[in-house]
Chain A
């Protein structure tokens, strides 16, 4: 039984880690701006595309990776400045629509640049190597991902708890207006949030595309949505929540893909019933269930509305 489930778990942990890195960006932005940054998944995709072109231009990998991460952070920063900042006092729906507009724009821009074709992601040595784990073979990146996620999250939590900007972030997420009155430079805090979120999405993109090797303009859409679901699942606004949510989503999704096999092997069904069809749908069903049962997610805090 364990041998049957283990490979799916492994796939799940790997993809979960990559979702986690995207989900952190969602959760941080939501915590501060109460905005679902629909373009976040596309930032992740843009990071992948930039890597393809920068490496194709002959830049060595050890320069290209940090360069891509910096550029991704810059992209996040610019998106916030151009598309969200002018709408700070507008209704929430306007900002969300702007986010959808940004997502649409980024996808179309990449479609134009790439001609709509899949681009092969450069192979990053060492982490692309195949290793054997018990009954399963996988790329080394699968194992590295969760470790790296934990390291990054610990660093991030320390940043938020220990540094001045982190404190400001916490203050802003608790009460936007009051912290503004207290002299916190809101715009700086928001920019920092976007920079950090995009940077992590950039890291996620390196790991993700090393595993799944091709990039196209729609590559960010699904991982983006899943990561958002993960953030909601874990309780939006909570970083550990987002990470745990992402791992749960990643694992569940892969279990669903293999559910036919698992049920088949344990003798519960006598022929496959095509449950893999629902691997994406299941994630969303989970989302609806959690929203209905516990709208604040696993680790979210509830806040009463003032009347």
Chain B
């Protein structure tokens, strides 16, 4: 087995009395494309938010390249309300990295409900993604002593736009682009942070079948070009089945299955819960 990139151990996320994720454990290995699927409201985006540091999990730990990036156990008021397992297991190892720190370590993400910088052009959106790898400080930047780096970043941003096929709209306001292009722009922006793990939250939402097929090819291409590991939340089963090495299925915050696309397609629990009735 190759080296694992991301590992979730017993993650539970509870909002007040509502358990959004319940004792979720998973691992993603280097070079894999792994998908997380499940019905609406199953807690997929919540899982992403726990990985990227937007939420602090109620219980459990997240490892990235075997380094803890989040670890918590129920405390305070939550101690009484906690409805998950193993409240004691992660005692004494409280870690909560901020999202920017996690991105800095090499996890980049896109958002389900596109969050581009709305006042800026497509080009500037990508350029902002290069900011975290800066060597300049606020003084050298103000006095434009970092021109070399700045030019390199500009070139890189342009290249990325080219790769996602948006070079011709570089100077357009990001939010004036059509939906599909905005999604690709989000990917370009995420790539600009030089990640090793890319989290895609429903990248095909709102795309037609043709675009979806292209997106699948595109994800595989960038995975190879940038040496990425990809973790994707998606509803389009064709896409999921087409590109994933492995798939996790969750329902009501709990994992109900894990395996290769073939295994998942034949898994009775999954069919019952998800594929059976409501294919979206």
A and B touch in the complex (CB under 8 A): yes
Which residues of A are interface residues toward B (Cβ below 8 A)? Answer: 304, 307
B16 and chain A: residue at smallest CB distance: A304
State the CA gap A141–B111 with chains docked (Å).
Answer: 58
Whether B54 lies near A304 (C-beta < 8 A) is no
5 contacts between A and B (CB under 8 A): A304-B15, A307-B45, A307-B49, A307-B54, A307-B111
Which residues of chain A have C-beta atoms less than 8 A from B15's C-beta? 304
Q: How far is the CB of A202 from chain B (nearest CB, A)?
A: 39
Which residues of chain B have C-beta atoms less than 8 A from A304's C-beta? 15
State the CA gap A307–B13 with chains docked (Å).
Answer: 15
Which residues of B (1-51) have their CB < 8 Å from a CB of A? 15, 45, 49
A304 and chain B: residue at smallest CB distance: B15
A302 and chain B: residue at smallest CB distance: B16
Which residues of chain A have C-beta atoms less than 8 A from B49's C-beta? 307
**Per-position 1/0 for B101-114, Cβ under 8 A of A:** 00000000001000
Q: How far is the CB of A294 from chain B (nearest CB, A)?
A: 13
B99 and chain A: residue at smallest CB distance: A307
Q: How far is the CB of A90 from chain B (nearest CB, A)?
A: 15
Q: How far is the CB of A269 from chain B (nearest CB, A)?
A: 39
Which residues of chain A have C-beta atoms less than 8 A from B111's C-beta? 307
State the CA gap A307–B45 with chains docked (Å).
Answer: 9
State the CA gap A109–B15 with chains docked (Å).
Answer: 49
A305 and chain B: residue at smallest CB distance: B54
| 5 tightest A-B CB contacts, nearest first | A307-B54, A307-B49, A304-B15, A307-B45, A307-B111
Which residues of B (82-112) have their CB < 8 Å from a CB of A? 111
State the CA gap A282–B15 with chains docked (Å).
Answer: 36
B111 and chain A: residue at smallest CB distance: A307
Q: How far is the CB of A272 from chain B (nearest CB, A)?
A: 43
Q: How far is the CB of A168 from chain B (nearest CB, A)?
A: 25
Which residues of chain B have C-beta atoms less than 8 A from A307's C-beta? 45, 49, 54, 111
Q: How far is the CB of A102 from chain B (nearest CB, A)?
A: 28
State the CA gap A307–B51 with chains docked (Å).
Answer: 13
Q: How far is the CB of A143 from chain B (nearest CB, A)?
A: 40
Q: How far is the CB of B50 from chain A (nearest CB, A)?
A: 11
State the CA gap A304–B54 with chains docked (Å).
Answer: 11
Which residues of B (163-221) have their CB < 8 Å from a CB of A? none
Q: How far is the CB of B230 from chain A (nearest CB, A)?
A: 20
Q: How far is the CB of A31 from chain B (nearest CB, A)?
A: 20
Which residues of chain A have C-beta atoms less than 8 A from B54's C-beta? 307
B112 and chain A: residue at smallest CB distance: A307
Q: How far is the CB of B141 from chain A (nearest CB, A)?
A: 27
B201 and chain A: residue at smallest CB distance: A307
State the CA gap A307–B49 with chains docked (Å).
Answer: 8
B15 and chain A: residue at smallest CB distance: A304
B46 and chain A: residue at smallest CB distance: A307
Q: How far is the CB of A296 from chain B (nearest CB, A)?
A: 13
State the CA gap A307–B54 with chains docked (Å).
Answer: 8
Q: How far is the CB of B98 from chain A (nearest CB, A)?
A: 14
State the CA gap A213–B15 with chains docked (Å).
Answer: 51
